[in-house]
Structure 1
Amino acid sequence: MAVRSALLVGLAWLYRFEVEASDELVESVTFLGSPHTPETYVKAGYSAGILGALVPIGFTLWLPWYAVVGISLGCSLVSMHVVQTLPHVLASFERTEALGDAPTLIGRAVLRMQIEPSTESAIRFAAETGSSSLARNLETHVEAAVGTPRTGLLSFAEEWADRFPAMRRSAYLLASAGEAPEAERNRTLDRSLAAVLDGTRDRMAEFTNAIRGPTTILYAFGVMVPLALVALVPAVGFVGYELSIWYLVVGYDVVLPIVLVGASLWLLARRPIAFPPPKVTRAHPDVPPRALPTLLWGGLGTLAGYALVTAVGVGYLAPIASGGLGIAGALIGYVRPILQVRTYVREVEADLTDALYLTGRLVDDGNSVETAIQRAGEQVPGETGDLFARAAGLQRRLHVSVHEAFLGEYGVVTTVPSPRVRATVELLAIAAEQGAPAGRAIVSMADHLDELRDVEAQTRRQLSTITDTIDNTATFFGPMVAGATVGLAGGLAGEGTAIVDGATTLPIEQLGIVIGVYVVSLSFILVPLAVALEDGLDWPLLGYRIGRSLLGAVPIYVVTIVVVGATF
C-alpha cells in the first residue's frame, strides 16, 4: 500500500500542469477515503502515459518501426487509462463487497427489533456490530442524525438505492415497523428482511444471465482460439515468411494478457453483490508470522519443476516448470495457515442455526439463556457446540455475563473473525437480559440465518457453471490445448530449427517458452476472475486458488508437449 501510494505521488509530481478531475472520479476517491486528491490520479495517469510510450523503444532492435510505434501508442494509452481508472475499479469492488453485507445488516436490525421494538436502537446495533464498509457507512448516517428526529436509516438507504433498489424498500419497511401496532410489527419486519433477500436473488440472477455471453466470448477468443493458432506457426515459415519470436512475445505475453485483464475487470465491475468469506489476516494469533514455511514450499516447488522437465527430456522448459511450481508452492505455503483458521470459522458457523434454535426453544420453555447455552453446548455437534460449551464453562468458572463469556477479555469469540457469529452472540447477550419473552426472537434469529445462508448458496450455485468453466480453462483445458499445439508445431517443424523449401521456422524451445509464459499468466488472470465473481476479492483465497491452478497447469502443459511431440 505504501509503495503504491509513493509511486502515485511520484508520477503526479512529474506532471507539472494543472488538471481537472471528473465528478465520477471525485465520487470514487471520496468513497475509498483515499489520502490523495482526485487531481493526483489524473496527473499520475498522464505521467504514466508518457513513460509507457517510452517502454517499447527497446523493441526497435527486433521489430520494424511501425510495429514499435503501434506498441508504444498502445502502452501509453493503457498506462494512462489504468492509473486514472484505478479509483473507479477499487470503489466498484468495495461497493460490491459492501452490498454483500446488506441482507446481514438488515437481518441484524430486524432481529434486534424483535427483542426490543426501538428503531433507533436496532439501527445503531446493526451498524456497530458490523465490520463491512456498508456497516461503517450506516454508522456515519446514524451519527449525522444525532440530535434530529431521524435515525439515519432512510438517508442511508437513499444513498445506496441506485445500486441496490431493494435496500430502499427494505429500509422503509423497517422504519415503519417501529411505529406499527404490535400485532403487525413482526409481519412488517419479516417483509423488510424478505425484500432485501429477494432483491439479492433477483440482482444475482440477472447478472448471471447477463455475463454468460461475454464469458463465452472471453473463453473462446481470449484463450482457445489464440492457443489453437499456435499450431499454424510452422505454416508461416513454410510459405516463405520469416516470423520473429518477438511478435509472439508481444502478442501472447503482453497484448493478450492485457486484453484478458481488461475484460475481467469489465465483468467484475458489473457484479452487483459479492459474499466475501470471513477475513483472516496474519495478525490472527493462530497464524504464524514466520516466512520459512513459505520459502520451503517455494523451494520444493522449484525443485519439483526442474525434476519434471529433466525426467521427460524437455530441459528448455525448466524456467516455466520451476518458476510456475515454485510460485505455486510459495503461494500455498503462505496462505495455508490463514485458510486453516477460515476453515475453523466455517465449522463454527456450520451448526450455528441449530444452536440458536435449541437455545431459543429452551428459553421459550422458561429456562434462562445461560442454561440454554450450556444445553446447546452439550447437544449441538462440531465446533459450534464446542464454542457454546466453552462459553458456558467460562460463565460457571468466572461468574460472568453472556456477553463477557463470548466477547469479553477471555471470551471464546475474540479469536473467531466472523461478523455473523459476533452479531449472533451480541443478540444472545441482549436476549439474556429479556428472559423468556426473547425465546421466540432467538428462534427467529435461527430462521433468518438459514435464509441468509440459502441466499448465498443459491447465488454461488448460479455462478458456479460460469466460474467452474473459467477455472478449469486456466488449470486443465488451456494448458492441454497449449501443450498440444506447441507439440504439434514442434513435430511439424522437426528438431530444432527446421528448413523447409528454404524457409526457417521458429525453434520449438523458443515457442515453448513463450506459450508457457502465457499458460502461467492464465492462472493469474482467469482464476482471480472466477474467485472474484463468486467470493469477491479475497486475497488468501486468491493465492490458494492460483497456486492450486499452477500445480495442475504447469505439469499438464509440459507432459502434453512431450506426448504430442513424440507422435511425430
Structure 2
Amino acid sequence: ESEFADALFILGRRISEGRSAEESFAHTSRTMKGSHIGKVFERISINLITMRTNIRSAIFDEEFGAFKDIYSDRIQTTMIMFTESVHKSHLSAGIAIIKLADHLKELQAVENNIKHSLYDMTSTMRTTACIFAPLIAGVTIALSEVISRVLQNVAEGVSRLPHNIVPGPAQISPENLDQTISPDLFMLSIGIYLILITAILVRFSSTIENGGERTQFMYDLGQSLPIAIIVFTITAIVSRIFFRGLI
C-alpha cells in the first residue's frame, strides 16, 4: 500500500492524457521498476496485450488476474472504481485517480502519525502477548504443581500423627487436600487462555496499526502465537525444575 499511491498518481496522469489502459499500466510499471506494485501493473499490461481481455478481467480474474494474490481492501476497492470509471471517460477517470492518489497520500500520512503516537500502546500489547503473558502462565503452571505437592506432603505428615494431637475438628488427609482439577486439565485451561489472550491483544494492536485487515491480522497472529507458545513451554519447564529443587 505504501507504493500504491505513487503508482496510482502516475497511472492517472497517463490515463488523463488519453493513453490506452495497457500503455498506461506499462508506463507506470517502468516508472515504478523494482517495486512490488510495478510488477503487478506490468502483469496487468501483459494480460491486456497478450490475452486481449478487458481491464476488469486483467486485474481481478481468479486464474490470471494480476490482483489475485493482493488482499488489501483499499487497493481492491480503488481498482474496482478505476475499472468502472475508465470506460466512461479517460479524462474523468484520470482526474479522479489523481485526486484519489492525493487522498491516499494524505491518509497514509495521518495513519503514520497515529501509529507513531500509539506505538507505545501497541508495542506493549505485542510484548504482553508474546512475552509477559506466556511467562506468567508458565510460572503459574509450575506454582500450581508445587502448591499441590506441598499440600500433599502436609496431609501425609498430619495423617501419621495420633488423632488426639491433631488440633481442631478438621479432617486433614491427602484426599481432602487433593486438587479439584488435575494438573493436565489445568495446563490445558491455561493453554487455551494463553491462545485467547494472545489473539485478542494481537487483534487490538493489528487493528490500530493496519485498520483491521483480516489478512494482516492472521499474519501477525501467525508470528506472535508460536513465540508465545515457545516462551510458555520454556518457562513452564524451567519453573518446574527450579521449584522442584526448593521442595
TM-score, structure 1 length as denominator? 0.32
From 85, 100, 104, the equivalent of 1:445 is 100
Q: What does residue 162 of structure 2 align with?
A: none
**Is the contact made by 1:474 and 1:519 (CA closer than 8 Å) also made in structure 2?**
no
Residues 41-68 of structure 1: per-residue CA shift (max 9 Å, x gap): xxxxxxxxxxxxxxxxxxxxxxxxxxxx
From 82, 106, 111, the equivalent of 1:428 is 82
Q: What does residue 56 of structure 1 align with?
A: none
Structure with a larger share of its residues in helix: 1
Match status 1:555 vs 2:214: no
Aligned-partner residue type, residue 230 of structure 2: L
From 525, 532, 535, the equivalent of 2:196 is 525
**Is the contact made by 1:470 and 1:526 (CA closer than 8 Å) also made in structure 2?**
no
From 498, 503, 506, the equivalent of 2:153 is 498
Q: 1:489 to 1:519 in 2, by over 3 A?
A: closer
Separation in 2, partners of 1:395, 1:452: 31
Match status 1:390 vs 2:26: no
How much does 1:547 deviate?
Answer: 4.9
Separation in 2, partners of 1:538, 1:475: 20
From 184, 187, 190, the equivalent of 1:516 is 187
From 397, 412, 416, the equivalent of 2:66 is 412
**Is the contact made by 2:135 and 2:231 (CA closer than 8 Å) also made in structure 1?**
no
**Is the contact made by 1:488 and 1:565 (CA closer than 8 Å) also made in structure 2?**
no
Residues 297-342 of structure 1: per-residue CA shift (max 9 Å, x gap): xxxxxxxxxxxxxxxxxxxxxxxxxxxxxxxxxxxxxxxxxxxxxx
Over the matched positions of the two proteins, sequence identity in percent amounts to: 21
Q: What does residue 14 of structure 2 align with?
A: 362
Aligned-partner residue type, residue 9 of structure 2: Y
Structure 1 residues not aligned, in runs of 5+: 1-348
Q: How does 1:72-111 map to 2 (within 5 A)?
A: none
Q: 1:417 to 1:441 in 2, by over 3 A?
A: same
Secondary structure of 1:411's counterpart equals coil
Residues 426-483 of structure 1: per-residue CA shift (max 9 Å, x gap): 3433246523454443222212223344455555556654454445445432343344
Separation in 2, partners of 1:556, 1:480: 6
Residues 5-25 of structure 1: per-residue CA shift (max 9 Å, x gap): xxxxxxxxxxxxxxxxxxxxx
Separation in 2, partners of 1:550, 1:384: 35
How much does 1:388 deviate?
Answer: 0.7
Residues 531-561 of structure 1: per-residue CA shift (max 9 Å, x gap): 3324359497286354553233233222222
Q: How does 1:128-527 map to 2 (within 5 A)?
A: 349-364=1-16, 367-380=19-32, 381-407=34-60, 410-414=64-68, 416-429=70-83, 430-431=85-86, 433-436=88-91, 438-458=93-113, 465-484=120-139, 487=142, 497-499=152-154, 502=158, 513=184, 515-527=186-198
Aligned-partner residue type, residue 197 of structure 2: L
Aligned-partner residue type, residue 516 of structure 1: M
How much does 1:389 deviate?
Answer: 0.5
Q: 1:363 to 1:489 in 2, by over 3 A?
A: closer
Separation in 1, partners of 2:213, 2:70: 21
How much does 1:403 deviate?
Answer: 3.5
Separation in 2, partners of 1:537, 1:364: 32
TM-score, structure 2 length as denominator? 0.65
Separation in 2, partners of 1:390, 1:561: 56
Secondary structure of 2:152's counterpart equals coil
Separation in 2, partners of 1:425, 1:436: 16
Q: 1:538 to 1:434 in 2, by over 3 A?
A: closer
Q: What value does the CA root-mean-square deviation take over the aligned residues?
A: 4.0
**Is the contact made by 1:363 and 1:438 (CA closer than 8 Å) also made in structure 2?**
yes
How much does 1:521 deviate?
Answer: 2.7
**Matched pairs, number:** 219
Secondary structure of 1:412's counterpart equals coil
How much does 1:397 deviate?
Answer: 1.9
Separation in 1, partners of 2:229, 2:105: 36
Which of the pair has more CA radius of gyration?
Answer: 2
Structure 2 residues not aligned, in runs of 5+: 159-171
Q: How does 1:30-69 map to 2 (within 5 A)?
A: none
Separation in 2, partners of 1:378, 1:486: 58
Q: 1:533 to 1:374 in 2, by over 3 A?
A: same
Aligned-partner residue type, residue 240 of structure 2: I
Higher relative contact order (CA 8 A, sep 6+): 2
